[in-house]
Amino acid sequence: MSALSGLTAAVEFTSVGNPVLNISIFGGFVAVTLIVVLRASRNNKTAADYYAAGRSFTGPQNGTAIAGDYLSAASFLGICGAIAINGADGFLYSIGFLVAWLVALLFVAELMRNTGKFTMADVLSFRLKQRPVRLAAAATTLAVCFFYLLAQMAGAGGLVSLLLGIDEKIGQSIVVAVVGVLMIIYVLIGGMKGTTWVQIIKAGLLIAGAFIMTIWVLTLHGFNFSALLGAAAERGGDALLNPGLQYGLSGISRLDFISLALALVFGTAGLPHVLMRFYTVPTAREARRSVVWAIWLIGVFYLFTLVLGYGAAALIGKEKILAAPGGVNSAAPLLAFELRGPVLLGLISAVAFATILAVVAGLTITAATSFAHDVYASVIKKGKAAPNTEVKVVRITVVVIGVFAIVGGIRVQGQNVAFLVALAFAVAASANLPTILYSLYWKRFTTRGAPWSIYGGLGSAIFLIAFSPVVSGGPTSMVQGVDFHWFDLSNPGIVSIPLGFILGWLGTITSKTLENPAIAAEMEVRSLTGYGAEEASDH
């Protein structure tokens, strides 16, 4: 019975949802953002303009852009679906993703802004030897961006089958290519300024869309959250309300949850595309205001998704969601359709695409900047590259990364690569955060400690994931038919994060060369007071 109703639901959904309407709403978003990007690009002259938007955004603007950069399709569609299916355990993601921002606010944002120029490596190499440290920092930046980018592109392919009713591989590949080409255009023309505006517009649409749906769901339940939970429990069973449905099954799954939570909480403040956003504001005070705005926007958004997730559980039901094309990810679009028919579904679909587009644009500019600024200008040209060639190199890199993302996104279609987002967070937490904290707060930290920590954290996270159930040996593994897994957790953070910290400490205490204490003192003053920090360009 339930399988039958699920099947009819799927058919009904793809035939009633109007692909032409969805595409035209998304086309409208693309047209508006392209105009904004073109206008924003007129002032892109220097490297500081292209990489850091001339450091001219205000705290509230940058905070909104951070929310736009951070709230990926995974956190909108994924969390709504996770709450609709797994109830209280789905909410745990929201908590982790939000609480993590305290690390960024209290320890990282302001000091990063004062110390660095364009990239994470600027901070790490401030008082350490340039080449080895920049090379290591660029390696993890590119790795994190690549994993995250691939997950987003794969998500774009999956989203079309759900929202546009395109199931053929060729149709999905075309959509991935369109997303990739649009991303290249935005980043190439608009630089950081254009990318930031795309993220601001997208954050506004996403939060407004979620807000409208939240109000509708609450209206249906008399603005009583307890009544909504009751309706969800009536349809999906009491287990939806009780914690432990997903992670409470065994000791291993509990440990896996702790490992995931560690990666989320320590990874956010080490995500290179988030760190780079701190350079787009004129002062450390504005960087602080950005994080405050981001925390409020992200927190309120996750409260909306809590209502939407339980709303989907109450109004649609678990079986119907799992049977729809796109599975778990279809909870929010199905709910939109249930509430107000094809128009709201079209709006929410367009917002989901806009979300992917804005996130991949942010990732691409971060990866390209890291390559041009850290690898090309500092390592290959040894700091003697003319400023104009650096901007030229960054543009070429954008195209190369874009093509890689399109090809990769098409190749991974139909494979289960959802673990890549968790891997990106794990690498950011194990390789980036330890070195950032050490170089900002530990004067004894040496040039040997940084690469040890970075390569150790990066390598161990990837190594453990490769031998975990997400890659082989599980029912939903990426590789089917062979089983070479021996690491039982799907999240490597609980091992790789401590390892990253320990290796950074070990590399430092075993190295005999000491770093120049005068530069350490200068860095301390600069990071805490902003004396000598990069200033905003005036136009």
Partner 1 sequence: MSTRVFGFITIGLLLGLAQFITTFAITTWYVSHANRKVDPLADEIRSDFAAGAHTDGQTQDERGAQR
How far apart are CB 78 and partner 1 at their closest, in Å? 17
Region near partner 1 per CB under 8 A, out of 90-98, 210-218, 326-334, 397-405: 90-98
Q: Which amino acid is at 68?
A: G
How far apart are CB 211 and partner 1 at their closest, in Å? 16
How far apart are CB 95 and partner 1 at their closest, in Å? 5
206 vs 217: CA distance, rounded Å: 17
What's the Cα-to-Cα distance from 45 to each of 52, 380, 384, rounded to whole Å? 12, 23, 19
Show the site string, 114-143: x = touches partner 1 by CB under 8 A, - = not: ------------xx--x-------------
Are 167 and 344 a contacting pair, CB within 8 Å? no
Region near partner 1 per CB under 8 A, out of 50-58, 287-295, 338-346, 459-467: 287-295
Tell me: does residue 95 bind partner 1 (CB under 8 A): yes
36 vs 50: CA distance, rounded Å: 15
**How wide is the angle at C-alpha 341 spanned by C-alphas 339 and 343, nearest 5°?**
115
How far apart are CB 529 and partner 1 at their closest, in Å? 4
Closer of 447 and 490 to partner 1 (Cβ): 447
What's the Cα-to-Cα distance from 429 to each of 53, 89, 139, 269, 471, rounded to whole Å? 27, 22, 14, 8, 21
What's the Cα-to-Cα distance from 22 to each of 18, 27, 191, 210, 352, rounded to whole Å? 6, 9, 28, 17, 11
Tell me: does residue 39 bind partner 1 (CB under 8 A): no
Closer of 120 and 465 to partner 1 (Cβ): 120
Q: Which of 67, 143, 175, 233 binds partner 1 (CB under 8 A)?
A: 233
Closer of 378 and 453 to partner 1 (Cβ): 378
How far apart are CB 44 and partner 1 at their closest, in Å? 23
Helix count and strand count (H, E) for the chain: 24, 0
The residue count of the chain comes to 539
400 vs 365: CA distance, rounded Å: 12
The residue with tokens 């205490």 is 509
Q: Which of 91, 118, 301, 425 binds partner 1 (CB under 8 A)?
A: 91
Region near partner 1 per CB under 8 A, out of 219-227, 354-362, 406-414, 425-433: 219-227
What's the Cα-to-Cα distance from 168 to each of 150, 173, 369, 531, rounded to whole Å? 20, 9, 36, 57
Q: Which of 101, 301, 376, 445 binds partner 1 (CB under 8 A)?
A: 101
Q: Which of 244, 408, 474, 498 binds partner 1 (CB under 8 A)?
A: 244
Tell me: does residue 523 bind partner 1 (CB under 8 A): yes
Among 74, 158, 149, CA closest to 413: 158
426 vs 262: CA distance, rounded Å: 8
Show the site string, 374-403: x = touches partner 1 by CB under 8 A, - = not: ---------x--------------------
Residues that bind partner 1 (CB under 8 A): 88, 91-92, 95, 98-99, 101-102, 105-106, 126-127, 130, 224-227, 229-230, 233, 241-244, 285, 288, 291-292, 295-296, 299, 302-303, 383, 518-519, 522-523, 525-526, 528-532
